[in-house]
Structure 1
């Protein structure tokens, strides 16, 4: 690690902190870039479907009154349906073609026997081909965006975990006199509290002990409005002022705000810190407002710690909510494993990008050699594991995000090589048998129950 990575700005970047300036959104600045942005509303699509062919007809009528559709020579009028097909797919292109057809019929009343059949047939074939090409690439783009969103969320989660680990090991012994708790202890307590009724109180108590808060409240936020009744509070708190400048800035900006920013912007506020509770998807769960804390505790590192503890807690809330159906049926399933299984199954249903589970069955001779724990340490960075213990065997389920049967076979081959180098045996000889199971959205719970049944067979 270079020395520059220990500066407050670098730590903010590592922690994914939102207290610093946010990057500006890059919108298309050129005319062509603006034209390439498609409207998401059906009314916009319908308006363009009608307007573009009409403009083509009007230009054709102004340029060539006798042949507005340019049936003789290059068919310039078909550019309008082709553009619609490229932007919105074959259905919009077909709608533009119908407008051109209606225009020709309106301009040739009583002379329908002159209908240019090959002109319209060739144009429709061109529009359908272009529309099919557009639909294919739109589907690929949506799939790539979904996968990129998933990878960004996992990266942000790993960055948070990495920074929390650094904080846990960077604390000096003399600081623990004022903070009789390590970061590991704090995270363990947050994990145990989870989504239970005592969760907000546990979170606020940890923040008070670890970040030296004296007067603070934790409030719910519904539709970007702070509810007056606090979920938890410490010190002599007063009702939260929903219209306070710092409170509104924290909610609207979705980032931690503190008193120095308010003084710089000349805003009147009675709070020292206002921090939203956001998960990885950006969903707002609540708001922490701090009225009193020691002057020397109001520094960048402490603010980053507040942001990270809030993020860790809300990540746990979202994970518990998504994994709840699985946890009710399989109480022994780890929350991270159930959460990832549900999220990856949803990605499979939306984008058809597969994920796979490798269930490794360990017989008693493998268990006596300690192989389950050794194999568990060989997992990849993004994989999640679930070790199921039964009287006669153990099953280690390894969830491999964005993988397929080839990924699973590569993992099993790597285990074969490892086992051969370690003991000169194959997996079967060592008492390990692999089962490869694809992950699907509709039967995620059934799949996990099937894996658990392997251990109790």
Structure 2
């Protein structure tokens, strides 16, 4: 779009012409009624409006002003309003006209330069308007390509594993629930969602926002309890964002992500103030909601009364409830496979099973009363077809049919019709395991460590 340098309108120019032209005789009548045009004065003040008008608006305005002054002078002499002066204005008209032409030429030179600058500015502005969207598109495409090709030094699954390790191994002192882990959580969010400015605020047991922020990334704006998005998050307990055209109406808050566990307790909120426009979409908001729930469960587990080293049914129950919530809210499927390993040759069997997993999987190794190892794996983002592919890829079905290394294998696919409590009861009944915390097996831990090294 072409942008022109603003110029004075024609009406304003002629109004200024009349005002300056009439100013000289008006002031002259008040000061020297006998010589209102200052023709016989030491300095010919009658030249002042001619010079100003010729320099500002060109030769035409200066010439018209001279004609008006000469006409007024002659009419005043004709009606006898003032006496004839030593020099008449008509005798000075040729010199005044020459001065007007010279000043008008300077005005034309200035106008030509301004016109050339205006054309250059318009061209540069048009090129800039074409370049800016192309640059933003190239930048966004590069960021998307970097994510697809694994250009980042750490994947989402590996980062989630590392964050889980940091949250669960950081010693919990007598202080806020997020003491020592707020900044790693915020860094994790900002890194994987292209967030440029955000802050993490703790929520107390009364459901109130606590100030100041426990962690900040970039230069976030402060958020207060009166924020409409914050009120909506505390009411709906879900991720809330605004439309891009309403950005300036909510104190600069773009989105708020609650860190909420499966018990519907909000531990903290992440207030996002600035995010890449390319990443501000439904998929990213869904990812924020999923990560907010996962981290909320980790915070709950860290602050629970159970030992963090326990491999318990309680953690399995939490994971199943989280997977069920993600299935119902975001249509993300999950599956469970449980394999019974006999007491003999457990190292090789468990090592093979543990080594074929993915970073997002969760594994529980439980030693049953008869000495058998029960390996339970929860595969997130896995439907029936993906589960079959997983079993075939890892050779589990072949091992079951070819030898007695594995005793049995049972699979479940989460469905909206089955509640998490009934699924957990079915799993414990089928596998004949108790519903109380059980210490993990030393042999399985060794096999798992060996599989991770391999």
**Do the two structures share a fold, i.e. TM-score over 0.5?**
no
Task: Point out the structure with the larger helix share.
Answer: 1
Q: Which has the larger radius of gyration?
A: 2
Relative to the length of structure 1, the TM-score reads 0.41
